[in-house]
Structure 1
Amino acid sequence: MIRRLLTLALLISLSGCTGVDYLSSFRTDLTQRPFDEMPAIASFDVDALSEQYPGEPAYYFDFEQTLEHVFLIPESDRWIYVEDIRRQYVILDADEETFTTFRVNLAPRERLDGIMLRSTSPSGEVLTYSEDDLIREVDDGRVVYKFAYPAVERGTVIEESFRTNRELAKDYTPPLYIDAPLQLYVPVKNFAFQYVFPTNWALKIKQVGPRQIPPYELDRNSYDGRTVVTFKGRDLAGFPDEPYSPFFKEIASYLEMQVTEIANPYFPGDKPLYETEKSWEELTKRYGEYAFDRGRRFREVEEQAQSLARGLESDSAKVASIVSWIQNNIEVGGDADDLASVMRERKGNSLLQTSLAQAMLAEVGLDADFIIIHPANEGYFDRSFISGTQFTTPAVRVKSADRQYVVFPFVEGLPITYIPEFYQGADAIVIRPEGGAEFIQVPTQDAESYAVDEDYAVEIDEDGIIRVEETKTLRGIAAYELRKSFEDLSDEEKEEEVRELLTYNEGQIEDFEYEVQALDAYGQPLAFVLRYTIPDLVTVTPEEVIFRTGGLLSPASLSAFETKVTERQLPIRIYYDRITNKSIRISYPESWTLATELEDTAEQTRFGSVRGIYLMGEGEITAEQQIVLKESRASPTAYGALLQLTGSQSRLYVPTLVFTIDR
């Protein structure tokens, strides 16, 4: 929400049209360098890099990004926003498509202003490519350029430099909010970010933690009338994919900035051409004007709300009825600008759909607030950085006698009891007609709401062939996300997705089949029944039988997420309590006798607890396992305590069962 004191059309009309092109003379050399002007790459040993950075698909020698506002007003009528990116890296894993292909998605009004791509093979062959070699596509109204490097192998060096720009128009302003990562997902030797803007603009930089701002340099002298914000990093670690980790912006380095004021170049000292809100009260007032002054007393809104709540006594039934009606009947999109239009056209943006839900819920007597959430994946909430960009997701908070709901009426099929992971416990701001700035926290959900039940019937015959029927029952957001993903998948893709649920991480799976239960019953548990045969996990000798359990007797099928304690890099973050229950029945020939001792076990650490109960009968083992993880934050050094619950160090982990054979 931004306040402008002159319209863009007026701004353009006031600008001088002298016929003189100030663009090239005013632009800094940072965004005018030749595309092949790249740092020389020092000699390197690809084997040494792979050993130093195990599992990494690539290693950047250099990464440089420059953003520049070429603001020529009032000398000219032009304001151009230029982005210049230059990067050089070596391929460590030629199967990782992210680094063996080039892709750039252009934003609306953005155009490609030049490009150079170059690959150098380990044998020294150099190939250079230009814009003519790219594939140009239009995806959902946006232009995409793509290119696949031919004959890429481990040790190939890729060099890419390209430039884009966006220009001021009567209906378009170049971006004044910047969110730039200062760390990549793979390691970088040299990293540089530069942001160039007129010196008489005001800039605010967001804190990434309490009193924490990434170290940057401010240069007001190198370019007359312009300021350069620069960040430089060296030997930056990548951001690994590790289980139970925070989101990128919670711990990684980034610069989030916003131009807060553009001085009036025509009348210095007068009201600025552009400025953002100066207080949260001012910002919420703007949101309130949008959310609450949009035809809310439109008769159809009132009548529809009363109709949906008629005959329903409980608050939860009323909430479910109204929210599901909006989700099922109002599409996200369109150009409606008030609730009357939303009701007529059955289309509206997320803010208006949330406004409609709040209006309907209030109409039937519920205590409903319009809120906007700052999700965890957006990092630290800096109260001194007054910007609507910190609050991205609208929702309605409903307070009833028995519980508090946070609902998302624009998310099709999302039950009223589901709160996605990155919203639980997040900061939010309440928007009210009378204004004010009240900050709240989104509630977290109880572990039972997300409980996973796993049931296994395992039969081993005399020849060691294993036949398995396993049922996985999912609840909460996991069930919702799987249901949504299935909507757009082919039968082959569905089977591939279901195979990811298989417990067994060893052995050859044969005769696989599955069925899905309650696929369309959003709000109900979702069950997958998997049936298959494994011929190669049991070794039968004349004296004994060795059964490699292949993940069956592991802590609730979570051992696949294990990483070595010594390799853990990221802090531990478990966002909400979760429970997994595992029930196992193993039947085997009565002539076999279990030699492996299975003892009941229980263990508790700072992260939760595990419990295992075992019953042995003639030709049968029954096991009941449970793992409970608690909402937690911890340093990487505590990962060993987590593995005591979730990994191969857990007391629930039994890799092998040995049987003797009675003759």
Structure 2
Amino acid sequence: MKLYFLLPLLLGAMLASCVMGPRRHYVLETVPPQSLAGITYDVEAYQQKYDGHDGVFILSDDLLEHVSGGQTWNAYRISSLRFMILNPDAEWLTTFSVRTNSNRELLNAYINVISPDGTVKSFTKKDMKVEKDSEGSTIYRFAYPDVQVGTVVDEGYEIKYRVGASVSRYEFPLQFDVPCEKVKVKYAYPDFFRIKAKKVGPDKRIELSPDNSIIGVKAYSYEAEDVPAFADEPYSPYQKEMSDYLDIAVTGAYSTTFLPSWDDFADGFKSYALERESFWRDRVKNILEEIVTDDMSDFEKVDAINSWLQQNIEIEDVPSDFSFNDVIKEKKGEPILITGLGRLMLEKVGIDADFVLIHSAEDGYFDQDFVTYGTLTTPAIHTKIDGKEYVLFPYIKNFPIDHIPEYIQGQRAIRINGDGFNGFITIPNGSLARNTVTESYNLTIDEDGLISVSEEKELRGTTAYAVRRLLDRASEEEVEEAMKELLTYEEGDVSLKSYDIEDREDYRKPLVIKLRYEIDNLVTITPEEVIMQTAGLLSPSSNRKTKVDSDKRVNPIRVYNDERVVKKITINHPTSWQLSVVPENVSYENRFGEIEAEYKTSSGHVDIALSRTLYSISEPAEQFTEMLNIVGRRSRYLEVPTLIFANSGFGE
């Protein structure tokens, strides 16, 4: 008997399987507003418990699901968050914002705003403001209404990552800028996928709980309670070096980023970064003949080549078949291509140099078994001259040859040569640059107590580079605001009269900033004495925005580069005033650095010389009290809050 009657059923099943596509197992569950009505929280208790924070996450729940569809797949992110606002002025916490692009679509979203009295207002995706940016991204924004202390927001959204652009590497944050009472994450994928989780420390991996309750789906979850906020403290390692996070990659045939080995990784870059010479015309040789001479030292040759590339080649996307000749001719290229050209130029003048890709401390711990694109991202040239290691960035304009950025110091880097993978190296700690700030102050106090100040700052090394970069990107109005920020004084009525910046464009010279300003309300005059508030003038640091005077240190201590600040101060005052007590000279040193102070007086003058040296160092948080003796604005060795003068000329 022929079962012809089964054919329609079989064809129907086949068509259905083609039309239905991959099946999802997790969807965004919208919270009905009526279920939240009448819910209240003890706002006062939350304020006391989380004092000093903008808010608190009550529950953060994040899920990513991969859904297979043949040789490709989609991914869906489902995120929900409930939090209390404790600072209504914190814009980052009082506004909903989600960014999408051509590869990511916001499918659904809900927002419930719960007032302290239990009133609930509900909103959806259609209530959001939609904006476009210059990169073609779409931003959905919504400002929560009637925000006050104790407002609770319950929100969620769902994003689809399109076929061909799915995330084969995904990261879950497990710690936030505010405390979190409970955090939950889940990662789900078809059971024929293979995944790998990155270690977050040499012997530390995030512990995950398996969930195989759905046939054909594997899932891993993580939960934690009472998670503290990130501590925003100076002299700290990078955030991901200290915090927990979950970084998972899809491996094997379905991955677009994970690789079998570092040899495969290196081969992918070798052909692009190293094998770009042209057989038709050697423009590299022509440029070298112009900028390098035989009588140059190796250092001078390196400096000449690196500087030429920085000044003449612009960073720009170029065709995939661009050669080194094209880079020189068109004066443009991508960072990896410019770096490869720089290595070739050094090789042609007899200097051994490696093309390297460096791991960033911003990415946390480098797990050498986590072989994926996006792990080693910073291209550079590594070379040695006279026994000193140099790391060159020929694509960054004016970047000093002797400076190593903090985020790559002590990090691992892969070396790639003509044969491909050539092992790993460790980037040196510290910097060869001399990081010194020399400040001179000439103060004149008139008989009414008004202080006129001429201040000059001479910046060298990394500090000079950072300030120049800031000034390069700033408008005239922003430059003036930056000058006001550089003023030493933290009290009194300060009026900036003029400023001047010398050698702003010449990165090889010290950067000199001259400021003229007046200060009122810092001097109190009585018949017997004159009291002058020093207001930060005698601090070992002139950065009034650096808050370090805290005995509640959380983060470990990390100082990346040696730093030296030298202050030379002359105070001119009426000759009828005489300093009653001359502060004691100071000479103090500990493991973090050293400070020195010397005070001299003469008729109508007080001369002060201060210096502070901070060493490159790593120490646990428990040692911070000792560090405060060097960097604290109220260091007990330099604590001179006032200068008191005897007044013999009052009323004359």
TM-score by length of structure 1 reads 0.90
- Partner residue, 1:12: none
Match of 1:156 among 132, 142, 151: 151
Equivalent residues, number: 630
Match of 2:135 among 133, 140, 149: 140
- Partner residue, 2:428: 443
- Partner residue, 2:336: 351
Match of 2:122 among 109, 123, 128: 128
8 Å CA contact 1:468, 1:532 repeated in 2 = yes
How much has 1:555 moved relative to structure 2?
1.3
CA shift in 2, pair 1:39/1:576, >3 Å: farther
Separation of aligned partners in 1, 2:102 and 2:418: 33
Moved more, 295-304 or 592-601: 295-304
Task: State the Cα deviation string for residues 153-175 of structure 1 (Å, max 9, x = none).
Answer: 2222222211111212xxx3412
- Partner residue, 2:346: 361
8 Å CA contact 2:453, 2:518 repeated in 1 = yes
CA shift in 2, pair 1:467/1:90, >3 Å: same
- Partner residue, 2:234: 243
Moved more, 474-483 or 581-590: 474-483
8 Å CA contact 2:40, 2:116 repeated in 1 = no
- Partner residue, 1:34: 30
How much has 1:209 moved relative to structure 2?
0.8
- Partner residue, 1:266: none
Aligned AA for 2:566? Answer: N
Moved more, 305-314 or 609-618: 305-314
From the CA coordinates, give the structure whose radius of gyration is larger.
2
Is residue 471 of structure 2 the alignment partner of residue 486 of structure 1?
A: yes
CA shift in 2, pair 1:453/1:98, >3 Å: same
Match of 1:209 among 201, 207, 224: 201
Aligned AA for 1:116? Answer: Y
Match of 2:273 among 281, 287, 291: 291
Secondary structure of the residue aligned to 2:45 is helix
- Partner residue, 1:656: 642
How much has 1:362 moved relative to structure 2?
1.3
Is residue 193 of structure 2 the alignment partner of residue 193 of structure 1?
A: no
Is residue 380 of structure 2 the alignment partner of residue 388 of structure 1?
A: no
Secondary structure of the residue aligned to 2:527 is coil
Is residue 47 of structure 2 the alignment partner of residue 50 of structure 1?
A: yes
8 Å CA contact 1:285, 1:433 repeated in 2 = no
Is residue 503 of structure 2 the alignment partner of residue 518 of structure 1?
A: yes
Separation of aligned partners in 2, 1:260 and 1:37: 41
Separation of aligned partners in 2, 1:139 and 1:388: 26
Separation of aligned partners in 1, 2:39 and 2:181: 11
8 Å CA contact 2:28, 2:156 repeated in 1 = no
CA shift in 2, pair 1:37/1:359, >3 Å: farther
CA shift in 2, pair 1:309/1:477, >3 Å: same
8 Å CA contact 1:306, 1:364 repeated in 2 = no
CA shift in 2, pair 1:27/1:446, >3 Å: closer
Match of 2:81 among 84, 87, 90: 87
Secondary structure of the residue aligned to 2:623 is helix
- Partner residue, 2:389: 404
Match of 2:571 among 578, 586, 591: 586
8 Å CA contact 1:559, 1:646 repeated in 2 = no
Separation of aligned partners in 1, 2:637 and 2:430: 28
Task: State the Cα deviation string for residues 106-125 of structure 1 (Å, max 9, x = none).
Answer: 25511111111232333444
Moved more, 411-420 or 499-508: 411-420
State how 1:204-603 maps to structure 2 within 5 Å: 204-219=196-211, 221-262=212-253, 276-295=258-277, 299-310=282-293, 313-337=296-320, 338-339=322-323, 340-401=325-386, 403-446=388-431, 449-558=434-543, 560-603=545-588
Aligned AA for 1:215? Answer: E
Separation of aligned partners in 2, 1:305 and 1:39: 74
Task: State the Cα deviation string for residues 129-149 of structure 1 (Å, max 9, x = none).
Answer: 333332322232222222333
Aligned AA for 1:634? Answer: E
CA shift in 2, pair 1:530/1:217, >3 Å: same
Moved more, 294-303 or 413-422: 294-303
Separation of aligned partners in 2, 1:483 and 1:141: 31
8 Å CA contact 1:120, 1:127 repeated in 2 = yes
How much has 1:229 moved relative to structure 2?
1.9
TM-score by length of structure 2 reads 0.91
Task: State the Cα deviation string for residues 19-57 of structure 1 (Å, max 9, x = none).
Answer: 42134xx2122x342365999696433333233223211
Secondary structure of the residue aligned to 2:187 is strand
How much has 1:87 moved relative to structure 2?
1.1
Task: State the Cα deviation string for residues 337-378 of structure 1 (Å, max 9, x = none).
Answer: 232433343322211111111111212222221011112222
8 Å CA contact 2:390, 2:402 repeated in 1 = yes
CA shift in 2, pair 1:97/1:80, >3 Å: same
8 Å CA contact 2:258, 2:373 repeated in 1 = no
Aligned AA for 1:628? Answer: T
CA shift in 2, pair 1:38/1:439, >3 Å: farther
8 Å CA contact 1:456, 1:470 repeated in 2 = yes
Secondary structure of the residue aligned to 1:567 is coil
- For structure 2, the 5+ residue unaligned runs are 1-13
Root-mean-square deviation (CA), in Å? Answer: 2.4
Aligned AA for 1:121? Answer: S
